Amino acid sequence: MQIKPREREAIIQSLKSGVVPAIGLQHIQVGRKDEVQAIIADLERIAQGGAAIRFVIGRFGSGKSFFLTLSKLLALEKKLVVAQADITPDHRLHATGGQARALYASLMNNLSTKAKPNGGALSSIIERWIADLDQKTRSQQGEGADLSQAILEALRPLQDLVSGFDFAQVLSKYYEAYETQNEQLKNCALKWLRAEYRLKSEAKADLGVREIIEDSKIYDYLKLFAKFVSLAGFNGLLVNFDEMVVLSHRLNHAPARNNNYEMVLRILNDCLQGHVENVGFLFGGTDEFLKDPRRGLYSYEALATRLAENKFAIDGLKDFSGPVIHLASLTHEDLYVLLHNIRNVFALADTSKYLVPDEAFESFMSYCASTLGAEFYMTPRDTIKGFVGLMSILEQNPQADWKNLLGQTTLEVTQEPEYLPIDDNETDGDPLTRFTL
């Protein structure tokens, strides 16, 4: 498989800082074949007008975000539109203070299509739809056809859904702006679709619609949006929510948490019972998010029964008929292949340019295992960061010997970046640095 220099750069830079590369994932992906197959089946079902829901569960650093990004790339390949957002205390599924609207806004700002894989695809999706419709109408009715009538006609299927009328009205406003090259009106329509209007009165003045996308309506609008993208020639919408553990563990308000779980339950029921079409939801979270009986999804009884594990799926047996995907730890072989792949990326798949011989993998892995202990298998993130760091040094210092460098590589267990102390120098030797309750 050929590796593009652009992909190489993205992969190395991302892995070095412990985040998932946006492109080129196929070059480094290892293992989890069954899990990937399950997702591919889900995507096919969505494309055929069905629905899917998955809870992607794994430890901190086990590759949940990697898996969600991989799913996104697979979905883009299948001509789906993908919306992706992290849950934070200020971006959540249910809220009354604008936090749900903020989540929706974040999803709309992170819309990807195959042509625009890095987000920001909202206006291109709409314009593609208008162009298609334009062409279709003209070919059917000839020049001078009334496109605004055709638009209302085309959007009729949306109007059966809740809030469909307003949604269709804003889209026709967008068309009007497109025709008259009214950038300001176009921006207003986009602003409305991105849920950035806070006041109904403003939306009414700018666009003549009575409603706005509010906290209580974001799920309705996601369903509408899924319907719309399929009208616009895509195969459906995949919505990825990462960091669900924020809901269970960082949102420290029990009633708010339960309201969010109720929303999850609503989505789960709709997807499993076939009430929604052309849409899929992936929720990424830790074991604690799922199973903590006091604050995880299991604390919400209706979810606990629906998400309970198949009692026979033990000892490595897998069951993907339920909505939960447990990301098992990578095996020794998986890690070996992963390091191999990383070496391959560095060399742009040119075997003559490999920075280290095969034996380096074993040495590196046993070094990691001795430093990180059990963490080694469970959180590949830190192992990979270390290995990419080692490779970078070797690349810049061709005279260096990997065996010598290995002893000097430092492996750090990742901390959440936004809450680092004010001054790092002060943390040395403090009993609180490695504090455990």
Partner 1 sequence: MSSSAFLKLHPAIQEQLYSMNWGELRPIQVEAINKIFLSEDHLVIAAQTASGKTEAAFLPLLSQLLSNPVSGLGAVYIGPLKALINDQFSRLEILCQKSDIAVHRWHGDVSAAQKRKLVEDPSGVLLITPESMESLLINKTAKLAAMFGETRFVVVDELHSFIGNSRGQQLLSQWARLRWALKCAPRWVGLSATLGDLQLAGKWMRPNEPVSLIEDLQEGRNVALSLQGYLHPPTEISRNPSKIISPATNATDEKMALDLFNQFKNEKALIFGNSKQKLEYYADQVRRIAQAQNHPNPFFVHHGSLARSEREDVEAALHKDRPTAVFCSSTLEMGIDVGQLSLVGQLDAPHSVNSLVQRLGRSGRKSGDTAKLRVLIDEATATVQNSLDRRLYPRLLQAYAMIELTLDKWCEPPNAEQLDFSTLIQQILSLIAQTGGLPAISVYHVLVTHGVFSKVNSSEFAFLLKALGEKHLIEQMPEGDLILGIDGEKLVRSFEFYATFASGDEYRVVHQGRHIGSVSAQPGTGGDGYLILAGRRWKILEVREKEGIIMVLPAQSGKLPNFQGTMWFDLAPEVVLKAQELLFGDHQPAYFNQTARHMLSSLRQVAQDFGIQQNPFVLEGKKTYWFPWAGSRCQRTLMGMCKYWGGLDVTEESFCLIFDGASPVQIKDQLKSLAKQSPNPVELASLFPMKGLLKYDEFLPEDLLNRQFAANHLNMLQAIEVIKHL
What is the dihedral angle through the alpha carbons of 124, 270, 78, 39, rounded to the nearest 10 degrees? 140
Contact status, residue 36 vs residue 370, Cβ threshold 8 Å: no
Among 6, 198, 332, 353, indicate the residue that binds partner 1 (CB under 8 A): 198
Among 5, 144, 398, 431, indicate the residue that binds partner 1 (CB under 8 A): 431
Positions 205 through 224 that interact with partner 1 (CB under 8 A): none
Tell me which stretch binds partner 1 (CB under 8 A): 136-144, 201-209, 212-220, 246-254.
Answer: 246-254
Q: Is 426 near partner 1 (CB under 8 A)?
A: yes
Token representation of residue 55:
């809870």
Q: Is 160 near partner 1 (CB under 8 A)?
A: no
Tell me which stretch binds partner 1 (CB under 8 A): 12-20, 105-113, 120-128, 415-423.
Answer: 415-423
Q: How far is the CB of 431 from partner 1 (least distance, A)?
A: 5
CB-based burial label for 140 (10 Å; 0-12, 13-18, 19+): exposed
Q: Is 373 near partner 1 (CB under 8 A)?
A: no
Q: Which is nearer to partner 1, 102 or 391 (CB)?
A: 102
Q: How far is the CB of 185 from partner 1 (least distance, A)?
A: 26
Q: Which is nearer to partner 1, 317 or 422 (CB)?
A: 422
Token representation of residue 415:
């901390």
Q: Is 245 near partner 1 (CB under 8 A)?
A: yes
Q: Which residues of 87-119 are buried (b: 16+ CB within 10 A; e: fewer)?
A: bbeebbbbbeeebbbbbbbbbbbbbbbbebeeb
Positions 73 through 102 that interact with partner 1 (CB under 8 A): 88-90, 97-99
Positions 281 through 320 that interact with partner 1 (CB under 8 A): 286, 288, 294-295
Q: Which is nearer to partner 1, 13 or 427 (CB)?
A: 427
Angle at which helices 64-77 and 33-47 cross, to 10°: 40
Taking the mean position of all CA atoms in its chain, how far away is CA 256?
Answer: 23
Q: Which is nearer to partner 1, 166 or 243 (CB)?
A: 243
Q: How far is the CB of 215 from partner 1 (least distance, A)?
A: 13
- Please report where in the chains the tokens 């974001």 appear, as a residue: 218
Q: How far is the CB of 409 from partner 1 (least distance, A)?
A: 21
Q: Which is nearer to partner 1, 312 or 435 (CB)?
A: 435
CA distance 76 to 72: 6
Q: Is 430 near partner 1 (CB under 8 A)?
A: yes
Q: Is 251 near partner 1 (CB under 8 A)?
A: yes
Token representation of residue 1:
């498989």
Instruction: Please spell the DSSP secondary structure of 402-431, one letter per residue.
Output: HHHHHHH--------GGG--S-GGGGTT-T
Q: Is 416 near partner 1 (CB under 8 A)?
A: yes
CA distance 431 to 437: 12
Positions 337 through 366 that interact with partner 1 (CB under 8 A): none
Contact status, residue 154 vs residue 231, Cβ threshold 8 Å: yes
H-type helices in 21-163, by residue range? 33-47, 64-77, 99-109, 122-141, 147-154, 156-159
Contact status, residue 63 vs residue 328, Cβ threshold 8 Å: no
x/- mask, partner 1, residues 32-71, rule CB under 8 A, reads: ---------------------------xxx----------
Q: Is 401 near partner 1 (CB under 8 A)?
A: no
Taking the mean position of all CA atoms in its chain, how far away is CA 96?
Answer: 24
Tell me which stretch binds partner 1 (CB under 8 A): 41-49, 107-115, 177-185, 429-437.
Answer: 429-437
CA distance 28 to 357: 18
Q: Which is nearer to partner 1, 256 or 365 (CB)?
A: 256
Q: Is 249 near partner 1 (CB under 8 A)?
A: yes
Contact status, residue 330 vs residue 31, Cβ threshold 8 Å: yes
> Which residues of this protein are in contact with partner 1, per CB under 8 A?
59-61, 88-90, 97-99, 198, 245-246, 249-254, 286, 288, 294-295, 413-416, 419-423, 426-427, 430-433, 435-437
